[in-house]
């Protein structure tokens, strides 16, 4: 089975711009979660999508948004970029969003976003 893929792998943007990141889950996985990883804050949960619906959201401002398509692929958008948004953005997929005890999240390689 192919693993979770994320595109692009690297992005450089300037303050005020917006950016869209893409995630393709493992085949058969319907849940996609997004995390932000920074040296200072570690891994923080952004949101989770299941069957095209956002079911869970972390404590991030409304500039961070996402969506999921009918094929379970997901995109994450950050508008009005700030310097502090520079981070590694990880996507993880699972069958049902850890709703069953045997479910597991598998992570993609991440997109490294640098905001100048």
Partner 1 sequence: AQRVTQPEKLLSVFKGAPVELKCNYSYSGSPELFWYVQYSRQRLQLLLRHISRESIKGFTADLNKGETSFHLKKPFAQEEDSAMYYCALAGGTSYGKLTFGQGTILTVHP
Q: Which of 21, 32, 81, 87 binds partner 1 (CB under 8 A)?
A: 32
Which of residues 24 and 31 has its CB atom nearest to partner 1 in the complex?
Answer: 31
What per-residue string of b and e applies to 13-31 under the rule 16 or more CB within 10 Å gives b? beeeeebebebbbbeebbb
| Nearer Cβ to partner 1 (23/81) | 23
Residue 31, interface with partner 1 (CB under 8 A)? yes
Distance, in Å, from the CA atom of 7 to the CA atom of 23, rounded to the nearest integer, reads: 7
Among residue numbers 86 through 115, which ones bind partner 1 (CB under 8 A)?
Answer: 90, 92, 94, 97-99, 101-102, 104-110
Residue 42 interacts with partner 1 (CB under 8 A)? yes
CA 89 centroid distance within chain: 6
Closest CA relative to residue 20, chosen from 92, 57, 73: 73
If binding is defined by CB under 8 A, does position 58 make contact with partner 1? yes
């Amino acid at each position: 089975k192919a693993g979770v893929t994320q595109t692009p792998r690297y992005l450089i943007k300037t303050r005020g711009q917006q950016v869209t990141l893409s995630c393709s889950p493992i085949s058969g996985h319907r849940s996609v979660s997004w995390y932000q990883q920074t040296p200072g804050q570690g891994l923080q949960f952004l949101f989770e999508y299941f069957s095209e619906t956002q079911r869970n959201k972390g404590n991030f401002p409304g500039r961070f948004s996402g969506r999921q398509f009918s094929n379970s692929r997901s995109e994450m958008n950050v508008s009005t970029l700030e310097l502090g948004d520079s981070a590694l953005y990880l996507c993880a997929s699972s069958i049902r969003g850890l709703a069953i005890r045997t479910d597991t999240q598998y992570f993609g390689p991440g997109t490294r976003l640098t905001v100048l």
